[in-house]
Amino acid sequence: MPKCLNCNAKVESNYCPECGQSIKTRKVDNKTIFVDVPFSIINIDTGFGYTLMQVLKRPVQTAKDYIDGKKMNHFRPVSFLLVLTSLSYLINKLIPREEVKMVHLDSQKGEKITKFLTETPQLIVLMSLPVLALSMYTAFRKRKESFAAHFYYITYMQSFIAIITFIPNLIFGNNMYYAAATLLLGVIANIVYYVFVYKDDYKIHTSILRGILAQIYTLLIFLVLFAIVIMIATVYMKISGVEQL
């Protein structure tokens, strides 16, 4: 007789008699990610408050619970992170403040790139998640967890960072030093997070070294992607006859 992944109760029907979770709910794997992520983008379900408190109190265990199939009370992870990102962005837009340019850009192309990065935080988040997950998956490959598991570890970690930096971001969001500090915090949080994820499998120093290796992988991947984008843009401008600025 199958058991509910959420509460371990024995289930004879399509839904658990104890918690109500569907018996069709599966543990996270590389197949479920292709269903869960697109659905998360277009669907907003219940459980936001519960997930908010769980991520704030125990971000690592919350991720492990979701990966193991305990999903009944949880807001979908990607939806949760996108909502947090959108709230921060919208509130920042409503707060009047002087525009601060981190880098002086003379070209119209550079201004468009900067505007794109600042005006589409949700897209940036979605693009960064698989890169970070791939880096962690590669660095911790001996653990033999799926890419999907690392994707959700990263998603919950990013959600935790978004929560604890929400208020400071509203105050210092347009400050270049705060932006740099937030980036550094994200790097450190990634490493510390994985120390707790694998505290029973690796020694602390091993997890730290693998976490640092993952950050190096992330940097290399972004550099490669950036080079590809520049190459495509250059080819496009040559083909279209646009003069480079």
Evaluate whether 12 touches 1 at the Cβ level (below 8 Å). yes
Ordered per-residue pLDDT tens for the chain, 245 residues: 788 888 888 888 888 888 888 888 878 888 777 767 766 665 556 688 899 999 999 999 999 999 998 888 889 899 999 989 888 888 877 776 655 554 444 455 555 655 666 677 788 888 899 999 999 999 999 888 999 999 999 999 999 999 998 888 878 877 778 878 888 999 999 999 999 999 999 999 999 999 999 999 999 999 998 899 888 878 877 787 654 44
**β-bridge partners, 10:** 3
pLDDT at 244: 45
- Which residue(s) pair with 3 in the sheet? 10
The Cα–Cα gap between 214 and 15 comes to 40
Q: What pLDDT is recorded for position 102? A: 47
Q: What is the CA radius of gyration of the chain?
A: 20
- In terms of pTM, does the model score above 0.85? no
The 3-class SS string of 144-211 reads: CCCHHHHHHHHHHHHHHHHHHCHHHHHHHCCCHHHHHHHHHHHHHHHHHHHHHHCCCCCCHHHHHHHH
Burial 204-234 (b: 16+ CB within 10 A, else e): eeebeebbebbbebbeebeeeeeeeeeeeee
